[in-house]
Amino acid sequence: MTIQEIQEEIIDEFDMFDDWIQKYDYLIELSKDVPLIDESDRVDENLIKGCQSKVWLHAKKEGDSVRFMADSDAIITKGIVALLVRVLDGQKCQDIMDNELHFIDAIGLKEHLSMTRSNGLVSMIKQMKIYALVFQAQ
């Protein structure tokens, strides 16, 4: 599936929920799906530190694609991390760089990307794109 297709799929999934509590319940469920980052990769070099919560992001090159593994110490952040990994993991470097991630706004979780949240997610998205750029150049 393309990045766009996965984003649409996620938007459809979230459309089923009537209220915010169901949405957050689902995020909590999703947080259990993140491929836990290997203990050896859960290190400071992979740490994106926010004021509120921490995110670990590890990436490796596989052909012309990028594999992402990520984790967070907060569950809601981790649920959103899981969605970001689902959208971008295994995608081609060029596609990762070119595609806008509009789904977070569309599913009503934009507030988690605002400045006051400082939860590491904004930096995580930037970092994912930087990995794609660096791997593309290699």
The residues of the shown chain that bind another protein, judged by CB under 8 A, are 20-21, 24-25, 28, 51-54, 73-77, 112, 118-119
To the query of whether residue 51 is one of the catalytic residues in this protein, the response is yes
Q: Kindly state the smallest distance separating residue 26's Cβ from another protein, in Å.
A: 12
Question: Is the CB of 50 or the CB of 93 nearer to another protein?
Answer: 50
Q: Kindly state the smallest distance separating residue 42's Cβ from another protein, in Å.
A: 15
Q: Kindly state the smallest distance separating residue 123's Cβ from another protein, in Å.
A: 15
Beta strands in 1-138, from DSSP E residues, in sequence order: 47-49, 54-62, 65-72
Give Cβ neighbours of residue 126 (< 8 Å, ≥ 6 apart). none
How far is residue 115 from each of residues 54, 87, 105, measured CA to CA in Å? Answer: 15, 23, 15
Residue of 19, 39, 45, 51 marked catalytic: 51
Taking the alpha carbons at both ends of the chain, their separation in whole angstroms is 25
